[in-house]
Amino acid sequence: MQMPTTYSGPPESSEHERLLEDPETLTGRGIQRETDGRKGDTVAKSSAIVAVLVILVTTWAITLSNKPTALGWFALHPTLQTLALVFFTYGILTLQPTADPETKTEGLARHQIAIIVLGFPTIVLGTSFMIYNKVSHAAPHFTTWHSIFGLVAVVWIVLQMLVGAGSLLAGPKGKALYKYHRLSGYLLFPWLLVTVHLAGAWSAWMVGNTSYATSIIVYTVAPAVLVVAVYARMRTSKMNFTT
């Protein structure tokens, strides 16, 4: 008697089985990671890093080469503010782009460290030292566009952090709130760079201690390159307010 044939599954060498056994395919991370990047992302990231480091290094060099001890507390203002800008820039870049759950989690952790642990305390200290310097010299506050933009920026950063925290604590509704947090961040960043431009290209002390070429290259062109580079890596699909 002929025994009935039993089903033993597809051949071991079949492409179908190899795909199913691929953990990257099972989780979807393999396909997702291929779509995380986009043409031009690497160039934009490199451009952003170079631009922000040009601002940082030049500002520190100008400050430290002009008798920083004689400048008093003021010397800590431009140095700390530009350092904070580096942290904020990294905090944004590290979330661009993240698509699968694993990279989102890792990117968010780095983002929080860069913004909350490093960037925010640094910019608060830089602002505080400038305010103290004004008070100690009985100088008037908020008399320039740079100081006004700077005040708005610090208040905006505090509100930005509160909305970000709320989006993480709001449960299912947090995703909708996070869209506004993301949009606000992309509007806040160029505001910070305009503040940097007003300081480096227009403030009395910086103009008196830098060349015109430096003002143009470091405090006009570099901020423009930085914001364009960050915007080039932005994914507008993540800010769909119709859903």
Name the pLDDT band for 39 (thresholds 50, 70, 90): confident
Least confident range of 5-9, 173-177, 181-185, 219-223? 5-9
Mean pLDDT of 16-40: 48
Residue 119 CA from chain centroid, whole number: 10
Distance, CA of 44 to CA of 50 (rounded, Å) = 10
Residue 235 vs residue 111, higher pLDDT = 111
Distance, CA of 42 to CA of 40 (rounded, Å) = 6
Fold of 17-236: Four Helix Bundle (Hemerythrin (Met), subunit A) (1.20.120)
Per-residue pLDDT tens over the stretch 74-104: 999 999 999 999 999 999 999 997 767 888 8
Within 10 Å of residue 197's Cβ, how many Cβ atoms?
21
* pLDDT above 50 for 29: no
Distance, CA of 220 to CA of 186 (rounded, Å) = 19
Name the pLDDT band for 31 (thresholds 50, 70, 90): very low
* pLDDT above 60 for 21: no
pTM over 0.85? The answer is: no
CA distances (Å), origin 222, targets 7, 68, 154, 210: 67, 24, 22, 15
Q: How many residues does the chain have?
A: 243
Alpha-helical runs (H) found in the chain: 15-21, 23-27, 29-36, 41-64, 68-71, 76-93, 101-112, 120-136, 145-169, 174-202, 204-209, 212-216, 222-232
pLDDT at 113: 98
- Single out the residue of 114, 199, 94, 117 nearest to residue 153, CA to CA: 199
- Single out the residue of 36, 151, 39 nearest to residue 99, CA to CA: 36
pLDDT at 16: 43
Query: With 0-12 CB in 10 A as exposed, 13-18 as middle and 19+ as buried, what is 212?
Result: exposed
pLDDT at 242: 64
* pLDDT above 60 for 37: yes
Please say whether the beta carbons of 81 and 124 come within 8 A: no
* pLDDT above 60 for 40: yes
